[in-house]
A = this chain, B = another copy of it.
Amino acid sequence: MSQLDSNWSLVDDSKVTPKGFLFAGISAGLKASNKKDLALILAPEGSIFSGMFTQSIVRASCVDICEERIKTTSGFVRAILINSGQANACTGNLGIQHFQIATGKIAELLGIKEEEVLMCSTGVIGVPIQIDDLVKNLPNLVNDLKCNNFQNAAEAILTTDLTLKTVLIETVIQGRKIKIAGIAKGSGMIYPNMATMLAFLTCDAAIQKEEWDKMISIAVKKSFNAISVDGETSTNDSFVAINAGEKIDKRFYPTIQKGIDIVCQILAKNIARDGEGANCLLEVSVQGAKNTDDAIMVAKSICNSSLVKTAIHGCDPNWGRIISAAGNSGVKFCLNDFDLYIGKHQILENGKLKQYDSNKVSNYIRSKMKGRYLVDDIVEIMINLNSGQSTGTAWGCDLSKKYVEINSEYTT
């Protein structure tokens, strides 16, 4: 159990999930690989759901219906069905019918209303869901619901991901143990504003809808909306956050906010780290900005630059590309105020080149490229715009030939 901040610590045992939530994850044969492809999360009665969805004009119908159901139920939803394999995007009326069939059946099996069931899909765009396989397996899925099936659910939502993305944290507030858990999928097509990703968060401290929406929006801005794998956004991106259980005193809301932030950032970083073909996590921190939005925009612009990403891949401390990307972010700053560090190496001070050992900086980057999923795989770029007090961070990854290979050789 490792401490994350003064309140929250990581729970190693993924079986002890937030109180009252049940999870399931099985294979329904939707993926040719026969890997798990169907997940279900059941929340306790009275749970509050909040959702944030893709901002693309081309949206899967499932996204529209989820958004609508959260609205019409005022957030009092009960279950989320998630399938991988087919995205059910651009499938017209058939897509809507499949959504209704699947959520209707789940509602029947769980004895709840159809409007209380959401459905998220991920996989190939334009291909209808294998609805017969799916429906046939719904009873198995419901039978599989357990509080300790968290990992199975996480596994069932993956597509091209190479790693499971789960996080479980806890704190004690007024003698009561509070837990927040999150699962996510996503590797390619990840860009600011919720790109091909699904993420689900559960929390066992009850917080009223309006406050919960606000908290989720704050957390998403600093996490899922601050990552980029390839500048692409998708038709299906969804993040649903659920709270349930006993109410918590308002004065502890900041602690809960911090917990949500932590869970979302860990998931977001793991998505960026799992970027297709990636070898490291790129973390760009911007300080001294006029406001948080500016800071994040500059950081994102750098994380999203193909030239920066290929330079990092080549272990090349190519600061020209970094400031060039910053200059294209749309944020106004003065180059004469610009400080730039790569790792602990200062490259620019007030826009002027410092004496630095290019080999050392290159070796610093190289030391992070030993492969993914090491604790120490983070290439850190730090910028100070020296024009304000605000800070922001964004995450990305290097761009490798492997990315091109993955995306030119397979239909996604």
Contacts and interface: CB of A to CB of B under 8 A. Distances in A.
Interface of A: 56-59, 87, 89-90, 92, 124-126, 188-189, 230-235, 304-307, 310-311, 313-314, 316, 318-321, 323-329, 331-333, 335, 351-353, 399-401, 403-405, 407-412
A405 B400 CA distance: 8
Contact of A327 (B59, B231, B411): B59
B235 A324 contact: yes
A92 B235 contact: no
Given A57-B327, A58-B326, A323-B58, A408 B305 contact: no
Contacts of A235: 320, 324, 327
A215 to B, nearest CB: 27
B353 A407 contact: no
B90 A310 contact: no
A389 to B, nearest CB: 20
- A232, A319, A405 pick with most chain B CB within 10 angstroms: A232
B232 A305 contact: yes
B404 A56 contact: no
- Taking the full assembly, how many copies of this chain does it contain? 2
Contact of A316 (B325, B351, B352, B408): B408
A311 B57 contact: no
Closest A-B pairs by Cβ, 3 of them: A58-B327, A125-B320, A314-B408
27 contacts: A56-B328, A57-B328, A57-B333, A57-B335, A58-B326, A90-B351, A90-B353, A125-B321, A125-B323, A126-B319, A126-B353, A189-B307, A230-B307, A231-B305, A231-B306, A232-B306, A232-B328, A234-B324, A235-B320, A307-B412, A310-B403, A310-B404, A311-B407, A318-B412, A399-B408, A400-B404, A404-B404
B401 A124 contact: no
Contacts of A324: 56, 58, 125, 189, 232-235
Contacts of A59: 327
Contacts of A326: 57-58
A306 B307 contact: no
Contacts of A407: 306-307, 310-311, 314
A323 B408 contact: no
Contacts of A314: 407-410
Nearest to A189: B307
Contact of A411 (B189, B304, B318): B318
